[in-house]
Amino acid sequence: MSTAGDSDHREQPGRWQVRAAQPSDRPRWLALRQALWPTLPEREHRVAIGKVSEPRSARAALLCHPVGDPAAVGLAEVVIRPASSAEGAVAEIEAFFVEPDARERGAPRRLIDAVEAWARERGCAVVSCRVPLDDIASAGMLCGLGFVERQRTVQLTRAVRDPAVALHTVARPSRPPARPPASLPLAPSPSPPAGRRSVWSVLGWVAHLAAAAGAVYAFMRSDIFGGDPVRGVMLPFVGFLCTLWVLGAIVAHRYRGRTAATAERQARLFRVDARGDGPPRPPPAASG
């Protein structure tokens, strides 16, 4: 949903009137849409207006204008979404625009009230809207009009390629794969080949083996009831410490293995080869 407008601070009841858009309102309707989406081609605006104007359409366009002046200064396009939860059908605002000189004189609130009344007549219990994450002004305006933020989402898209273009791409010399975006998990750096392990890794394994051998030796030589303080106290204590060392090394090794496997699975989802094709992905599981 796209909006434009600030929260109104000085309401003037009875100053504004809202009506459903009529065929004679199309020029002004088009002008308000172009002010909301100036980069959208006029042809697409006209196609969208035609869809809303269809007789059996579940959409509606409401125009707000001053009392006694039919020139609209505000537009709200609404559509009824089918019930997808316990809330039932939802009236979703797809477009909302109020001219700047009318935003602080009660026009936005009057237009939202008319949308709510329109939704209530059609059995909707909720009026919703979608605002881009970076559109802070529109989100603040809607919150000032009584809306409550429910969730935040990020939309991802991928262009559908022509098979002929894909085959032509494969036939060309391969190029280096494109670097994934920084927000996606990257593939872990390859581990050094066998035989080139670092000195610290070798010393770590030597320490683990020495701790295991020390634990075995200490427990075999200890004699708790013999009366000798070295064999009765010191050797069992050393064996206990060596045992803790070995157990900690085993737990750390298993944790690193699981972490590396998880990172590899995540990186595989976003890995791109030289042709631009990723690995085959299983179909999504059906949710209950």
Which token pair is 42? 């006029």
Cα-to-chain-centroid distance, residue 15: 41
Residue pair 7/135 in contact (Cβ under 8 Å)? The answer is no
**What does DSSP assign to residue 90?**
E
User: Average pLDDT, whole number, for the chain?
Assistant: 74
By three-state DSSP, how is residue 192 classified?
A: coil
Lowest mean pLDDT among 3-12, 132-141, 199-208: 3-12
User: How far apart, in whole angstroms, are the C-alpha atoms of residue 185 and residue 264?
Assistant: 10
DSSP category for residue 237: H
Both tokens of residue 97? 């625009």
- Tell me 101's DSSP state: G
Q: Please tell me which of 167-171, 180-184, 259-263 the model is most confident about, judged by mean pLDDT.
A: 259-263
Residue listed under structure tokens 């537009």: 75
Residue 246 class from Cβ within 10 Å (0-12 exposed, 13-18 middle, 19+ buried)?
middle
Predicted confidence band at 272 (pLDDT cuts at 50, 70, 90)?
A: very low
Cβ contact 72:32 at 8 Å: yes
Return the CATH fold of 2-144.
Aminopeptidase (3.40.630)
Instruction: Assign 153 to helix, strand or coil.
Output: coil
Residues 20-60: pLDDT tens digits? 988 888 999 999 999 989 999 999 999 998 888 887 778 88
**How many residues does the structure list for the chain?**
288
Closest C-alpha to 234, from 252, 214, 204: 214
For range 241-264, the mean pLDDT: 79
In the chain, domain spans: 2-144, 197-271
> What is d(CA 267, CA 287) in angstroms, rounded to the nearest whole number?
25
The DSSP bridge partners found for residue 80 are 91
pLDDT band of residue 200 (cuts 50, 70, 90) is: low
pLDDT of residue 46: 92
Least confident of 71-80, 98-107, 188-197, 219-228: 188-197
Give the start-end residues of each E strand in the chain.
2-4, 16-20, 59-66, 74-81, 90-98, 126-129
For residue 155, what are its two tokens?
Answer: 């939309």
Residue type, position 266, single letter? Q
pLDDT in tens, 219-239: 787 777 777 777 777 878 888
Where do the H-state alpha helices sit in 191-286? 199-221, 229, 235-270
- Number of C-beta neighbours around residue 209 at 10 A: 12
pLDDT digits 0-9 by tens, 87-110: 678 888 888 889 988 888 888 999
For residue 179, what are its two tokens?
A: 């670097």
pLDDT exceeds 70 at position 269: no
What is the band of 63 on the pLDDT scale with cuts at 50, 70, 90? Answer: very high
Q: Higher model confidence: residue 267 or residue 194?
A: 267
Q: Output the pLDDT for position 32.
A: 92
The Cα–Cα gap between 263 and 266 comes to 5
d(CA 98, CA 81): 24
Band the pLDDT of 186: cuts 50, 70, 90.
very low
